[in-house]
């Protein structure tokens, strides 16, 4: 029973283009799903097994030994959230679809925070969930792992989901699921399959990837956008996660318009931050207050619209893949619906005819950076630890953020040079996402170093996945800032609640011994200099995970640079 997705088609990734349908062969549902995933270019699935999915796992096992050369690598984790976060990290690092598979009920719920995060981050993650026997679904017979209305729960978590009812349905449903992940608002999709359906055999016709069409570009809207931008006196570009694949276009627009580009979490690296036009949140807020036209690309504009204010002197141009997004908070002057890169490419074609000659704003931006950097300088030791990481991490290396003091500072002051090299959890900002997400990024991008930063609080959410890192020899480098506390919570209790501390102190293991007990490389450092040396040692080894514990005390609050008041309206 496929649920009909209600999506506007958008641009496909290169691998999902195609249209031919091959012949039929007898196979199980599990085998058909494996074949379909391979046909869509997936090469890995992140899993935690269980009886409901045994026949699917047997199909995965057979594919491992098949003479065809086609293989779906299977990475098993120690908790379902680990599998789902790994798929998320792999999707974010590659921009390509990634899959995970877990048992129904508790398995689904164990993985649900990661699926929620994938939704918030518009990440192309395909979730497979087992199900109780097909004829028992909905009857409340207390089957193993039964959960009331599993399909209903799933349908609230993702935009597109379906249940595979027979082997012959599998190829088409996988193809539709993957198409949905790149259509309209991009994001995760999910497929359920009942315990007795995975192993059922029938003739199955192959299904090539479905073409993904894009909404036609609205030429009137493009013209209106080009006119407004071309005449703008103080244009500002805001890049969100939806701009990650439009780096060249955003860079060109920024230069043509001499428009600064604000990015905070998910839009980092779209404009190389060595460019003086790349600005952080506090500078961006000042510029928002002064702007006459804002071009917002693939962003919810949550912070500007809800915190910084809006008035009639500011025209907003929105570029978004989700047709419902532009008008959600405030009606924009112009809405351009579609993927950022074709829309901006078209805009670039006609903008020169409307644009005036503009003097360079580089010097002005350098001065603004210098002023803000002076204020940010009090975020120590965070900035010095970040500088140590930046000095050692190559420019294409991936930095994975967390909900921790050094993470908050990184959003303001860790320079990012390329798209998809700064992974931040976006608006969910869920503690504990980092380590396992980084493992997935490192697993999918074995050619690049990945550094995960985490607090002592967040790390233990998924620390058991150190076993996964060892089992699958994933060379992730994790830098753990140990302050013996849910430090962010503790500081709020100090500052706002008369220092009545509650539930914010942490009793920790010896993290170095903990890492070593898995067989990982582990060491403890204190200073930024020592961190840099430890990172260099870790980057020289690529045969397994490294855990570097940094002992720290309480750190100064970053929040005055993040939660800032109105500048307009």
Measured from the CB of residue 539, what is the shortest distance to Mg ion in angstroms? 25
Give the β-pairing of 521-525 and 334-337. unpaired
Nearer to Mg ion, 46 or 461 (CB): 461
Nearer to Mg ion, 402 or 483 (CB): 483
Give which of Mg ion, ligand TPP, none residue 465 binds (C-beta under 5 to 8 Å, depending on kind).
Answer: none
Per DSSP, 169 falls in state G
Nearer to ligand TPP, 487 or 545 (CB): 487
Give which of ligand TPP, Mg ion, none residue 239 binds (C-beta under 5 to 8 Å, depending on kind).
Answer: none
Q: By the criterion CB under 6 A, which residues form the site for ligand TPP?
A: 403-405, 429-432, 455-458, 481, 483, 485-489
Measured from the CB of residue 2, what is the shortest distance to ligand TPP in angstroms? 32
Whether 288 contacts 568, CB under 8 Å: yes
Mention every residue, 6+ apart, whose C-beta is less than 8 A from residue 90: 44, 46, 98, 440, 441, 443, 444
Give which of ligand TPP, Mg ion, none residue 55 binds (C-beta under 5 to 8 Å, depending on kind).
Answer: none
Answer yes or no whether residue 487 interacts with Mg ion by CB under 5 A.
yes
Give which of Mg ion, ligand TPP, none residue 98 binds (C-beta under 5 to 8 Å, depending on kind).
Answer: none
Measured from the CB of residue 453, what is the shortest distance to ligand TPP in angstroms? 9
Report the run of H or E that residue 480 belongs to, with start and end.
strand 477-482
Measured from the CB of residue 350, what is the shortest distance to Mg ion in angstroms? 51
Q: CA distances (Å), 121 to each of 19, 134, 427, 501, 550, in order?
A: 29, 32, 8, 33, 29
Measured from the CB of residue 408, what is the shortest distance to ligand TPP in angstroms? 8
Nearer to ligand TPP, 113 or 287 (CB): 113
Q: Which residue is nearest to Mg ion (CB)?
A: 455
How far is residue 486's CA from residue 390's CA, in Å, rounded to a whole number?
A: 25
Q: Which residue is nearest to ligand TPP (CB)?
A: 455
Measured from the CB of residue 439, what is the shortest distance to Mg ion in angstroms? 20
List the interface residues with Mg ion, window 403-462 (CB under 5 A).
455-457
User: Can you read off the two tokens belonging to residue 485?
Assistant: 């506390």
How far is residue 376's CA from residue 64's CA, in Å, rounded to a whole number?
A: 52
Measured from the CB of residue 272, what is the shortest distance to ligand TPP in angstroms? 28
Q: Which residues of 386-417 are buried (b: 16+ CB within 10 A; e: fewer)?
A: bbbbbebbeeebbbbbbbbbbbbbbbbbbbbb
For 332, phi then psi, to 5°, come to -80, 160
Whether 125 contacts 91, CB under 8 Å: yes
Whether 241 contacts 319, CB under 8 Å: no
How far is residue 167's CA from residue 205's CA, in Å, rounded to a whole number?
A: 9
Nearer to Mg ion, 120 or 432 (CB): 432
Whether 547 contacts 481, CB under 8 Å: no
Nearer to ligand TPP, 86 or 278 (CB): 86
Among 192, 322, 483, 549, binds Mg ion (CB under 5 A): 483
Give which of Mg ion, ligand TPP, none residue 243 binds (C-beta under 5 to 8 Å, depending on kind).
Answer: none
Nearer to ligand TPP, 139 or 378 (CB): 378
Burial class (CB in 10 A: 0-12, 13-18, 19+), 59: buried
Measured from the CB of residue 136, what is the shortest distance to Mg ion in angstroms? 45
Residues of this chain that interact with Mg ion (CB under 5 A) are: 455-457, 483, 485, 487
């Amino acid at each position: 029973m496929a649920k009909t997705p209600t999506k506007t088609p958008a641009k496909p990734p290169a691998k999902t283009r195609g249209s031919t349908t091959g012949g039929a062969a007898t196979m199980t549902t599990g085998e058909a799903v494996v074949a379909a995933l391979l046909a869509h270019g997936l090469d890995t699935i992140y899993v935690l097994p269980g009886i409901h999915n045994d026949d699917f796992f047997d199909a995965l096992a057979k594919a491992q030994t098949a003479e065809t050369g086609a293989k779906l690598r299977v990475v098993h984790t120690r908790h379902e959230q680990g599998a789902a976060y790994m798929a998320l990290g792999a999707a974010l690092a590659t921009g390509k679809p990634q899959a995970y598979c877990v048992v129904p009920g508790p398995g689904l719920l164990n993985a649900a925070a990661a699926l929620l995060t994938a939704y918030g981050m518009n990440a192309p993650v395909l979730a497979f969930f087992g199900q109780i026997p097909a004829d028992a679904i909905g009857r409340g017979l207390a089957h193993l792992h039964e959960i009331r209305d599993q399909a209903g729960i799933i349908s609230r978590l993702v935009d597109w989901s379906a249940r595979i009812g027979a082997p012959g349905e599998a190829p088409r449903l996988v193809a539709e699921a993957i198409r949905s992940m790149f259509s309209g608002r991009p994001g995760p999709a999910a497929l359920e399959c009942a315990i007795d359906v995975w192993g059922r055999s029938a003739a199955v016709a192959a299904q090539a990837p479905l073409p993904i069409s894009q909404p036609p570009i609205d030429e009137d809207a493009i013209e209106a956008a080009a006119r407004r931008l071309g005449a703008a006196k103080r244009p500002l570009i805001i890049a969100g996660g939806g701009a990650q694949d439009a780096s060249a276009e955003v860079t060109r627009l920024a230069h043509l318009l001499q428009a600064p580009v604000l990015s905070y979490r998910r839009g980092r690296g779209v404009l190389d931050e060595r460019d003086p036009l790349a600005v952080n949140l506090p500078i961006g807020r000042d510029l928002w207050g002064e702007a006459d036209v804002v071009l917002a690309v693939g962003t919810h504009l949550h912070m500007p619209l809800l915190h910084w204010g809006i008035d009639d002197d500011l025209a907003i141009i929105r570029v978004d893949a989700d047709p419902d997004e532009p008008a959600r908070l405030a009606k924009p002057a112009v809405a351009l619906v579609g993927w950022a890169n074709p829309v901006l490419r078209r805009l670039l074609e006609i903008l020169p005819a409307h644009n005036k000659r503009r003097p360079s704003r580089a010097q002005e931006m350098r001065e603004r950076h210098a002023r803000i950097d002076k204020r940010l300088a009090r975020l120590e030791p965070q900035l010095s630890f970040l500088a140590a990481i930046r000095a050692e991490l190559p420019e294409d290396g991936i930095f994975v953020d967390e909900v921790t003091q050094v993470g908050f500072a990184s959003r303001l002051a860790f320079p990012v040079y390329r798209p998809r090299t700064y992974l931040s959890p976006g608006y969910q900002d869920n503690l504990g996402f980092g380590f396992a997400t980084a493992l997935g990024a490192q697993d999918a991008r074995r050619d690049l170093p990945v550094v995960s930063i985490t607090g002592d609080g967040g790390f233990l959410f998924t620390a058991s996945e150190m076993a996964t890192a060892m089992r699958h020899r994933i060379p992730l480098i994790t830098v753990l800032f140990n302050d013996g506390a849910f430090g962010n919570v503790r500081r709020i209790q100090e500052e706002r609640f008369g220092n009545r501390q509650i539930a914010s102190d942490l009793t920790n293991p010896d993290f170095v011994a903990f890492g070593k007990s898995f067989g990982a490389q582990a060491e403890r450092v204190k200073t930024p200099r020592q961190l840099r040396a430890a990172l260099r040692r870790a980057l020289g080894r690529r045969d397994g995970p490294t855990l570097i514990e940094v002992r720290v005390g309480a750190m100064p609050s970053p929040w005055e640079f993040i939660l800032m008041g109105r500048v307009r309206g």
